[in-house]
Structure 1
Amino acid sequence: MNKIYYKLRSGLTINYNPSEENYSIWDSKEGWELVVNKKLILFMNAYSLATTKETVFHLLRDQFQVDEKTSAEVHEYLYEQNIISEYIPLETNVGTGKGGIFNTPVMSIDQCLEGDWCDLVFIGMPYDLNVTHKPGTRLAPGYLRRVSGSLFQYDGTHLKGAYDPIEDQQKLEGIRMADCGDIHSVVFSKNGKEFDALEELIGRVIRKGIFPVTIGGDHSISLPCIKGVAANHVKIGVIQLDAHSDFGMNSFDDWRDSVHHGNFIDAVLPVENVEHVIQIGIRQLTQEKVSHPKIIQYPGKSVFNHIEELKTILRKDIRYYLTIDVDVLDPSIMPATGTPLPNGFSYIELMNIIELITEHVNLSGLDVVELLPFLERDIEGVMVSEIIFSVISKVMNRKDQYEHHIKNSNVSTY
């Protein structure tokens, strides 16, 4: 059941009367005026953004030393006096829009977080300062916005989703999505404030119960995404589909100086609440073998020989974050990446792995990274769009199932 949100009505003006030492609320639209005390004014401020009455109670109980019953009575008074009203997102917030991934509406994050309407958001992170070979992945978010609509056109009015003739199934039906645009900076700094902004954004989205899909950018952008998810769950696992382990037993005095796309997992492992990292598809040559108690690795295509083992490792009592480096695919079908390696997965093999993952775990977020677009053609972009569509359609289809399991298993996830 959706929560009911309330918000301070627009058109209200607060005035202080020095002679009477009181405050008045004046409705400039309807003309009425109401005399109130200072405490009520401060209580009203809690509704300046759309919120629930339960949230207001938890926010103000220490400040005013009120119990839940008194807080509810004040809430009802404000509602009866027409000072606050139920908040329903404007139609412009949930309409069809244009310009986002899969033609989703491009909206501010504030619009996406208002009310209780949004199920999934796309976030662009056009950052490639941490590549060790070939730059250009910063262009991927804009590129996917341009080409993804040829695969699927989101309709925010009817919410029919899309019919898949292969699976004979309607997908993403009833799911509301939006594109929050890109993490923006005039000039990006290495592992700087833009990483902090992405981590904070992911955290806010997770707390709202919205599924975040982040489009990189090089693979180091997964670090703030994982930190944002981990900060809001008791325990998480990370699943990494990649040709490279991005790990080498490095310890950082200052990760902002040292992290790049080839070692970011070293910075993920110490993150509080990260239980383990499952790496699938690794085929990078290294000087020597390195291992870590938190890392479970299935090199190359070996995962297909250990399916039952993987099923036992994937836990249903924790949330998982999925990060997909497009170079996990063989370069014969995915040449659009900066560090390609031969003998990668076929497209069908990758789809089979995604099916296995989404069937057995509760995903709390996704990123797709290391796409270096050939801007003169669309095929790689459409392929990556299909990968994204496959993951989100399966996650959204099983959302109620996972929430039911977590509720009945008494597992605390936040």
Structure 2
Amino acid sequence: MKRFKHPARFLEIEPELYGYQKSKFVVIPCPHEASTTYGKGTARGPAAILRASQEVEWFDEELGYETYLKGGVYTLKPLAVGRLPSAVKKILTEGKIPVVLGGEHSITPFAVKAAAEKYRDLSVLQFDAHADLRDSYEGSKNNHACALRRVLEICPAVQVGIRSISAQEWEWARKTGQINKIHRAEKLEIAEKIDNQLTKDVYLTIDVDVFDPSIIPSTGTPEPGGLFWYEVLDLLKAVCAAKNVVGWDVVELSPCSNALKSAAWRSAAMPSPVSSTSKRTSTRAGSSRTTAACCRTLPWAVNF
């Protein structure tokens, strides 16, 4: 497979191969970092993911083809968070699917707001270690610890992988009923329940700290425990086989150590599990597929 070594393009796909007009998927790097509270470095996340994507194979043996051929993918230049809503709105209006690379989690409400303008019955599926339900934190309502609280002002949300929540967040969730849509990391038999709680049109937000730190250690606020690669993959497959995924983001990668390049590589592949959700694809328990095989199933196979 030819390599082009262009760090600004996801998978190094040349514009001559798939320009904006021909592409179904549009990658939006959004290196916003303003409120990280522990480890820093999420502003470097998009560049690290794009660079790592150079090492991801295009061909996926599960689907049997180079997945980008089914829809095309185009990468925009990095955008400031203030420009994110208009960019997402334009992409959706043109019948394309936005894939946002953060950056910290506070970018998610900006993308969700634009998606909700087009899809009136939108819901959000959050993969995260943290509830992110604070009304404000450190004097700001736009702190990354408030991301899902802001999302819930726009549309309903279901939360998966949660294993860190404050007393105030817990009480608020209990009073509002959101507690019934919070699924902890150790409770994995939840695919059917999640399906029933989501609307037809779904936006996915994937905070990489949802994973066990042994999978992705390069994140600003890691938590003990967490989900493993195939657990997340299987949940994504189940959701996307039943729902219309209109867009998604991958956030909170902090690539601060050269020793942790594998985390960036896995983050580059995070859109990949979504693609495996093609209705023609199924997953068997105990599959012997390698992580690399999953990584080759890229996002443009969604909804084909």
TM exceeding 0.5: yes
The 1-side partners of 2:192 and 2:91 are apart by 33
Q: The residue matched to 1:205 in structure 2 has which SS?
A: helix
State the one-letter code of the partner of 1:299: R
Query: Which residue is 2:82 aligned to?
Result: 196
Q: Could you list the runs of 5+ residues in structure 2 that have no partner in the other structure? A: 278-298
Query: Which residue is 1:313 aligned to?
Result: 197
Query: Which residue is 1:325 aligned to?
Result: 207
1:235 maps onto 2:121 in alignment: yes
Name the Cα RMSD after superposition: 2.4
1:259 maps onto 2:142 in alignment: yes
CA 251–346 in structure 1, closer or farther in 2 if over 3 Å, else same = closer
Q: The residue matched to 1:332 in structure 2 has which SS?
A: coil
The 2-side partners of 1:398 and 1:147 are apart by 21
8 Å Cα contact 2:32-2:81 kept in structure 1:
no
Query: Which residue is 1:279 aligned to?
Result: 159
Query: Which residue is 1:101 aligned to?
Result: 10
Q: The residue matched to 1:262 in structure 2 has which SS?
A: helix
Q: The residue matched to 1:203 in structure 2 has which SS?
A: helix
Query: Which residue is 2:185 aligned to?
Result: 300
8 Å Cα contact 2:104-2:252 kept in structure 1:
yes
The 2-side partners of 1:198 and 1:168 are apart by 32
Q: List per-residue Cα deviations over 1:268-326 (Å, max 9, x = no partner).
A: 2222xx2x100000000422523134561111221x233332233333xx311000000
1:380 maps onto 2:263 in alignment: yes
Which of residues 113, 119, 122 in structure 1 aligns to 2:27? 122
State the one-letter code of the partner of 1:163: F
Q: The residue matched to 1:181 in structure 2 has which SS?
A: coil
CA 346–217 in structure 1, closer or farther in 2 if over 3 Å, else same = same
* Count of paired positions: 269
Q: The residue matched to 1:399 in structure 2 has which SS?
A: coil
Q: The residue matched to 2:11 in structure 1 has which SS?
A: helix
The 1-side partners of 2:22 and 2:68 are apart by 15
Where in structure 1 do 4 or more consecutive aligned residues deviate above 4 Å?
A: none
Query: Which residue is 1:172 aligned to?
Result: 68
Query: Which residue is 2:224 aligned to?
Result: 342
Identity %: 26
1:397 maps onto 2:291 in alignment: no
CA 385–195 in structure 1, closer or farther in 2 if over 3 Å, else same = closer
8 Å Cα contact 2:136-2:142 kept in structure 1:
no
The 2-side partners of 1:265 and 1:313 are apart by 16
8 Å Cα contact 1:238-1:323 kept in structure 2:
yes
Q: Could you list the runs of 5+ residues in structure 1 that have no partner in the other structure? A: 1-95, 153-161, 184-193, 401-414
8 Å Cα contact 2:73-2:300 kept in structure 1:
no
The 2-side partners of 1:119 and 1:176 are apart by 6
State the one-letter code of the partner of 2:70: G
8 Å Cα contact 2:50-2:268 kept in structure 1:
no
Question: Structure 1 length as normaliser, TM-score?
Answer: 0.60
Question: Structure 2 length as normaliser, TM-score?
Answer: 0.81
The 2-side partners of 1:307 and 1:122 are apart by 27
Query: Which residue is 2:55 aligned to?
Result: 150
1:141 to partner: Cα distance: 0.9
1:375 to partner: Cα distance: 4.5
8 Å Cα contact 1:97-1:106 kept in structure 2:
no
Q: List per-residue Cα deviations over 1:386-412 (Å, max 9, x = no partner).
A: 222232454643524xxxxxxxxxxxx
